[in-house]
Amino acid sequence: MNKTVIITPVYNKFEQATKPFLDSIYKYTDSFDLILVDNGSTDGTTEYLKNFEKEHSNLKVIYNKENLGYSKANNQGLKLALKSKYEYIGLLNNDILFTPQWLENTLKVFDSDPQIGMAAPRDAGRRKFFRKKISAENYLEHYKDRLKRFKEPYKYVLEPLFCCVIVKRAVIDKIGLMDENYTPAFWEDQDYIMRMFYAGFSAATSNRSFIFHNHSTTSSSVKTEIYERNREYFFKKHPLGKWIWAHKRSNLIKDIKNYLKEGLES
């Protein structure tokens, strides 16, 4: 049995997200199992997955009759995954593409520090918007340039890239499933990270692993009032979160200024 299982909810957007995701993950990933949760797709995704599942022994698809949202779909996958003895469980969006050895290099982070409970790759498309436009068509041409920017193999972070996060089994055994009060989407990832911190684990980003995230392909239909409702629920549940996310915003401004300074000096 593989030591890593990946859980990915899908809902429509077959051509824009799900098919490219499947093509990419099977091309650039070794030794993994995959659980897809089809949230009641109506655009041909379901029919495609039924045939795809027959051709791939490492794939299991859960078919829902309606869209249950992100947290509930992930929990369905988690319940199935926890029946087996996986060491690591990946929570991945279907709007991402991969690079060679992304999973292998992400898993190496856990070997560096036993306290790390979550690890994620970097997004090959981030922070290139000042110089080059990185897209799904050309990200593979540029991601190796990012490797040269980082001397250390990983970095501790407050918020790993949750569109593609690998979670240690021990974390899930301790904190349980995702909070379904955030249904249909938004802020459930920050909630899960905070609960992991409370449980005594840390998070890290691999500087040797990259993916490309086509942002908001799968969540763009979620209404603003739902986002705000979930945000309010999160801050009531995690008062410390207000400080953490204010700190993140201030660091983002600082990082952008440093990046621009580096560009002017180079």
Does residue 127 have a pLDDT over 70? no
> What's the pLDDT at 251?
57
Question: In angstroms, what is the C-alpha Rg of the chain?
Answer: 18
Q: Could you tell me where the beta strands, DSSP code E, fall in the chain?
A: 4-10, 33-39, 59-64, 88-92, 96-98, 116-123, 154-157, 164-168, 202-213
> What's the pLDDT at 130?
42
CATH 3.90.550.10 is the classification of domain 4-222? yes
Tens of pLDDT along 50-75?
999 999 999 999 999 999 999 999 99
Peptide bond between residue 184 and the one before it cis (omega within 30 degrees of 0): yes
> What's the pLDDT at 135?
86
pLDDT band at 220, cuts 50/70/90?
low
> What's the pLDDT at 242?
80
Handedness of CA 107, 166, 218, 45 (dihedral sign): positive
Tens of pLDDT along 21-56?
999 999 999 999 999 999 999 999 999 999 999 999
Is residue 128 classed as helix, strand or coil in its secondary structure? coil
- Looking at residues 167-176, what average pLDDT do you find? 98
Q: How many CB atoms lie within 10 A of CB 32?
A: 18
> What's the pLDDT at 66?
96
